[in-house]
Structure 1
Amino acid sequence: MSAVLGADHDRDRVITPPSTFDVLGVPVSAIDPDVAVATIEGWIDAGARQYVCIAGAHGVIESHDDPELLKSFQHAGLVTPDGTPLVWVAWLRGLSHVRRVYGPDLMLRMSGTSVRPGRRHFYFGGNDGVAERLRDVLTASNPGLQVVGCLTPPFRSVTPEEDAAMVAAINAARPDILWIGLSTPKQDLWMLRHRDQLQVPVTIGVGAAFDFLSGSKKQAPRFIRENGLEWAYRLCSEPRRLYGRYSKIVPRFLQVLATEWWHRSHMT
């Protein structure tokens, strides 16, 4: 193992990633939360450098029209089925073991399991003050949790010098997990573009988890989240911002589900 870890270009292959199922070209990981956590912890222990995309229907549909976003999914160590509709696609393909790996839940779980081994966390993203509030909430609920940095990038385009300074600050803090709260597709593109610059075992893009877990935004009730209706709840909460997105995504993803069902029903 030590010989493998001695070469940077081999470190991505230390842990064999779980199998995937294809949705519009996106290799979604056929996993449940337990497998996601075990894979991430394995990467940290091995000193790997991987990133994780938390993918819902929004990201999958957007990647169909954005080659670079699709590339970010295709190069990720994990593309977790964040949205219940992706789990439905897996079930239609006979992958009954697949369960939703929801960004906020994954962050909560990793925060809890990382206290004893002393995992180091860094929060990058959110509006002003959100990362700091997130740190306060999670360290209060997980005594001993090590948060080694919080950084909020500007909403404007950054200069190469600013970008390099942010990467240098992250690397200097030596986190085991870098959490990115920039939303899809911005966070997925950021991880793809910076994967060779970051000296971090695991980078995970969790988007709105920063807002939900810090208390900045209200999270949908669990029964709504577990029944594929979170998009409707969020649309009602932020209609102006989300109407355009969901008016495109929902019909197109329903078409994906209908196509999956038709193929499945005519193959049996």
Structure 2
Amino acid sequence: MGERADILGVLIDKVQLSQIESIIANFVSRAEPHQVVTVNLDFISRALRDPSFRDLINTSSLVVPDGIPVLWAAKLLGDPLPQRITGLDLLHACCRLAQGTPEGIFLLGAEPGVALRASRALCGWYPELPIAGTYSPPFGEFSVEENSLIVDLIVSSGAQYLFVAFGCPKQDFWIREHLVELGVPVCVGIGGVFNYVTGRVKRAPRCVQNLGLEWLVRMMQQPRLAKRYLINDLPVLTRVISHKLLSAHGVNNAGQQSAGQLFTRSGGLRRMTPRE
């Protein structure tokens, strides 16, 4: 992958939506497992509180900005990203690549029956789409037996694309923990995207999305998200603005280097490769 933007130590690939299919096709052709992460403000908020989550993001094969506020943050910091790329964008890109091939897609997670309904909706849009399987495990921490069952289902399905809807950060840590044994070329944590596919949750109009206010529509549809958006996520933008103001006034020393710069220079953290 090429250049990455650095938002408070969280590294995000500077890629265009038009490049996504070729990047994913390359992952599949290499037949090696890759983790893809879709970063919104909640991911950055969690990464600031949890270094292990930040490291997971920074060592993933592909990291895309899933939210206009993430683009705002990158631009404010003078390290702009080309455009927003959502989990739904990634799902459709994989469906286009998989259609008419034996390269199956596995949908994992969400509430009981949602993954199955999502697979049927996708097949309505992509009639020749090979669905390798669907499974909605129980909520909560998985037992050793449940984890083994999930891994066995995916491996035996021969899936080339895996979309995991456990929510952040559970889905992303689960993918990382099992990435090598799964051996799936494209593994994506996708959050609530299955609900959009099935129509259980309506997306905001395009004009609202472009204004960066889709979070407000989601909060109105799902009030439980209010705490996440208002208490956890908004302070990220405040921190970005503070960082920008301090930089503009020349406040800079070795202790204020970006985490991304420190990792690169120390050699202590680099992007994971599937064989490591």
- In the superposition, the TM-score normalised over structure 2's length comes to 0.84
Q: Which moved more, 1:164-173 or 1:116-125?
A: 116-125
Identify the range of structure 1 (168-177 vs 244-253) with the bigger mean alpha-carbon deviation. Answer: 244-253
Q: Provide the aligned C-alpha RMSD in A.
A: 2.0
Cα distance between partner residues in 1 of 2:132 and 2:43: 29
Are 2:161 and 2:187, in contact at CA under 8 Å, matched by a contact in 1? yes
Establish whether residue 188 from structure 1 lines up as the match of residue 172 from structure 2: yes
Corresponding residue to 1:144 among 116, 125, 128: 128
Alignment of 1:32-111 (within 5 A): 32-92=16-76, 98-111=82-95
Contact 1:121 1:147 in 2 (8 A): yes
C-alpha distance in 2, partners of 1:192/1:156?
Answer: 18
> Tell me, what secondary structure is at the counterpart of 1:197?
helix
Quote how far apart the aligned CAs of 1:221 are. 1.7
2:147 aligns with: 163
Question: Which amino acid in structure 2 is aligned with residue 217 of structure 1?
Answer: V
Distance change (3 Å), C-alpha of 1:97 and 1:86: closer
Equivalent in 241, 260, 264 of residue 258 of structure 1? 241
Structure 2, unaligned runs of 5 or more: 251-276
Match of 1:232 in 2: 216
Partner of 1:154: 138
* Cα pair 1:75 1:192 within 8 Å, conserved: no
Deviations 1:80-130 (A, max 9, x none): 100111122333455556110111122123212321444310000111111
Question: Aligned partners of 1:70, 1:84: CA distance in 2, in Å?
Answer: 20
**Are 2:244 and 1:244 aligned?**
no
Q: CA deviation at 1:173?
A: 0.6
- Alignment coverage as a number of residue pairs: 250
* CA distance 1:21–1:97, shift in 2 (3 Å): closer
SS in 1 for 2:94: helix
Distance 2:246 2:205 in 1: 33
Equivalent residue for 1:28, pick from 6, 12, 16: 12
Whole-angstrom CA distance in 2 between matches of 1:221 and 1:264: 36
CA deviations on 1:124-163 (whole Å, 9 max, x unpaired) are: 0111111111110011111100011001111022211221
CA deviation digits over 1:231-262, x for unaligned, max 9? 111112222x1122122234312213414643
More contact order relative to length (CA 8 Å, sep ≥ 6): 2
Letter in 2 for 1:253: V
User: Is 1:30–1:90's contact at 8 Å kept on the other side of the alignment?
Assistant: no
The answer to whether the Cα contact below 8 Å between 2:195 and 2:201 also exists between their aligned partners in 1 is yes
- The alpha-carbon distance between structure 1 residues 215 and 254, as it changes in their structure 2 partners (threshold 3 A), is same
Determine the C-alpha separation between the residues in 2 that align with 1:264 and 1:117: 51
Give the Cα separation in 1 of the matches to 2:54 and 2:78: 24
Name the SS of the counterpart of 1:49 in structure 2.
Answer: coil
Instruction: Identify which range, 65-74 or 45-54, moves more after superposition.
Output: 65-74
CA contact (8 A) 1:92 1:264 kept: no
Do the aligned partners of 1:181 and 1:210 also contact (CA within 8 Å) in 2?
yes
User: 1:25 is matched by which residue type in structure 2?
Assistant: G
Say if 1:97 and 1:79 are closer, same or farther in 2 by CA, change over 3 A.
Answer: closer
Shift in Å, 1:189: 1.4
What CA distance in whole angstroms lies between the structure 1 residues aligned with 2:28 and 2:216? 36
Match of 2:98 in 1: 114
- Give the TM-score normalised by structure 1: 0.86
Gaps of 5+ in 1: 1-16
What is the Cα deviation at residue 230 of structure 1?
1.4
Following the alignment from structure 2 to structure 1, what is the Cα–Cα distance between the partners of residues 207 and 24? 27
